């Protein structure tokens, strides 16, 4: 074993090797375990491990400070000096960085910085796998076929800087996606869950919910495109609001390029977006959705800066009681816009004060559509944040408080900002897995929303 094989040793050695004016080193230690199944039987399982090292060098010059960023996977001790030198060369060949700021300073050190990385294994599925096997048996007896996968990852991030920071964060990420299909494949239903450890995932309950949806789909109802009262489940709300979050950089808004730009200049901060008491927020310490409590930036962009690495993250209300409260800022863009520093965090929660469940909202619906999830979401117009996409795995017609059948899938055209303004009811908030963005963003808690006039712009066949 190499003398500098441990993550914290690699960080320290890379910092020692640096000859730049400033240096940030991020070591990410990854491990994952997964299960896959098809036709009510497990097909594959596996465990992986890996390491990625990112070196950020900063070089001061007469015209400003430049930065160079180099990342490499499977780093060994022999790779360290070439990697550090490559980052320094990249910085020296670059022009001054527009987002340049003094590196975050401090003597704070995570108490477990020198400990080995956290690792997952197949043991994370010790209770889940037998319960999944029982769900297979029930599905087989009920004439259903279950397909899907479960994945659990643990990433230990070690962040060290030439200014003295030594920070560490362990991030567990678990996802489950489960599809139930009829034997002739004409009916399909989907459910997904986000979890930290798979102890709060109940395959039996998910299979029962999917069985109910397949039952609903035995009756088909043809509906044309149009505007319908629509119940958006938490997963669909999450997909829409995550995209909104990704589009809420303060600088872009201040420069007149986004839906959060104010006509005539400035931003829409302070403006009411909804008449409902909606609060959209991020909090790295949110129970069950915990995320890194400090900035981890492997690259710079409109909503992140490598110079901010290690900056503490505080709970932030993006929308409070229906009013736009904050936009995403780095220290650089905060200075440009005159807004407070508000970096993005790796979770998103929408609180609406609702008490009903989605099932109770269905019971209170005279006529409308109940969606399962959205996918293939793409931006049409950044000025309004108009998005288009498709429904998937079940759109159901509700009449007089009951689901009476399945309708075709649709293409939709909607802006999440407009939807917040038009929503008339929200359920209670619950943890959810975004269907479209679940590969990139999993820590979300959302209510279902009732929208009286959701725009189903065209019928989508064969999806």
Phi then psi for 347, rounded to 5 degrees? -150, 165
Quickly state the pLDDT bin for 449 (edges 50, 70, 90).
very high
Averaged pLDDT, 53-77: 95
- With 60 as the cut, is the pLDDT of residue 1 above it? no
Give the separation between CA 240 and CA 374, rounded to whole angstroms: 9
Averaged pLDDT, 428-450: 97
Average pLDDT, the chain: 96
Residue linked to tokens 């599925």 = 125
Indicate if the alpha-carbon torsion angle 200, 201, 204, 208 is positive or negative. Answer: positive
* pLDDT given at position 141: 97
User: Residue 243 gets which letter from DSSP?
Assistant: H
> Are the C-beta atoms of 84 and 57 separated by less than 8 Å?
yes
Averaged pLDDT, 250-259: 97
* pLDDT given at position 462: 59
| Number of other residues whose CB lies within 10 A of the CB of residue 205 | 12
- With 50 as the cut, is the pLDDT of residue 313 above it? yes
- With 80 as the cut, is the pLDDT of residue 107 above it? no
- With 70 as the cut, is the pLDDT of residue 463 above it? no
Give the relative orientation of helices 128-141 and 203-216 as an angle to the nearest 10 degrees.
Answer: 30
User: Pairing between strand 367-381 and 226-232?
Assistant: parallel
Quickly state the pLDDT bin for 2 (edges 50, 70, 90).
very low
Instruction: Give the chain's end-to-end CA distance (angstroms, integer).
Output: 52
* pLDDT given at position 4: 57
Quickly state the pLDDT bin for 106 (edges 50, 70, 90).
confident
- With 90 as the cut, is the pLDDT of residue 176 above it? yes
* pLDDT given at position 76: 86
- What pLDDT, in 10s, does the model give residues 225-237? 999 999 999 999 9
pTM over 0.85: yes
Phi then psi for 166, rounded to 5 degrees? -140, 95
Give the separation between CA 319 and CA 283, rounded to whole angstroms: 13
Quickly state the pLDDT bin for 320 (edges 50, 70, 90).
very high
- With 60 as the cut, is the pLDDT of residue 3 above it? no
């Amino acid at each position: 074993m190499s003398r500098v094989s441990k993550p914290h040793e690699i960080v320290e050695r890379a910092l020692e090797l640096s000859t730049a004016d400033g240096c940030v080193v991020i070591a990410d230690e990854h491990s994952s375990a997964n299960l896959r199944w098809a036709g009510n039987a497990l097909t594959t399982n596996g465990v992986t491990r890996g390491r990625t090292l990112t070196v950020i060098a900063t070089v001061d010059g007469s015209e400003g400070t430049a930065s160079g960023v180099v990342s490499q996977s499977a780093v060994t001790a022999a790779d360290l000096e070439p990697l550090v030198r490559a980052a320094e060369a990249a910085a020296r060949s670059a022009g001054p960085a527009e987002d340049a700021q003094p590196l975050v300073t401090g003597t704070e050190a995570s108490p477990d910085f020198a400990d080995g990385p956290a690792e997952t294994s197949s043991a994370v599925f010790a209770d889940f796998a037998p319960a999944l096997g029982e769900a297979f048996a029930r599905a087989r007896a009920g004439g259903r076929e279950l397909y899907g996968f479960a994945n659990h990852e643990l990433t230990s991030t070690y962040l060290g800087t030439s200014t003295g920071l030594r920070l560490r964060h362990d991030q567990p990420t678990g996802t489950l996606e489960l599809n139930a299909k009829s034997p002739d494949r004409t009916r399909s239903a989907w459910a997904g869950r986000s979890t930290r450890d798979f102890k709060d995932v109940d395959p039996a309950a998910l299979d029962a919910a999917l069985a109910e949806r397949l039952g609903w789909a035995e009756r088909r109802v043809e509906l044309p495109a149009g505007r319908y009262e629509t119940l958006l489940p938490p997963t669909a709300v999450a997909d829409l609001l995550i995209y909104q979050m990704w589009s809420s950089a303060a600088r872009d808004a201040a420069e007149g390029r986004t839906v959060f730009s104010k006509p005539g200049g400035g931003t829409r901060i302070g403006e009411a977006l909804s008449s409902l008491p909606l609060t959209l927020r991020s909090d790295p310490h949110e129970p069950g959705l915990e995320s890194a409590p400090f900035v981890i930036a492997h690259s710079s962009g409109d909503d992140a800066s490598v110079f901010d690495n290690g900056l503490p993250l505080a709970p932030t209300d993006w929308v409070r009681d229906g009013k736009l409260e904050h936009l995403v800022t780095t220290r650089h863009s905060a200075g440009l816009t005159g807004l407070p520093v508000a970096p993005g965090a790796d979770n998103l929660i929408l609180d609406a004060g609702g008490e009903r469940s989605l099932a109770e909202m269905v019971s209170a619906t005279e006529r409308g559509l109940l969606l399962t999830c959205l996918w293939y979401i793409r931006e049409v117009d950044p000025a309004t944040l108009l998005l288009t996409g498709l429904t998937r795995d079940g759109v159901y017609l509700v009449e007089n408080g009951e689901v009476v059948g399945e309708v075709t899938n649709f293409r939709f055209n909607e802006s999440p900002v407009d939807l917040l303004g038009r929503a008339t009811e929200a359920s209670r908030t619950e943890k959810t897995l975004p269907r479209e963005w679940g590969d990139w963003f999993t820590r979300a808690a959302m209510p279902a929303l009732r929208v009286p006039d959701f725009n189903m712009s065209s019928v989508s066949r064969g999806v």
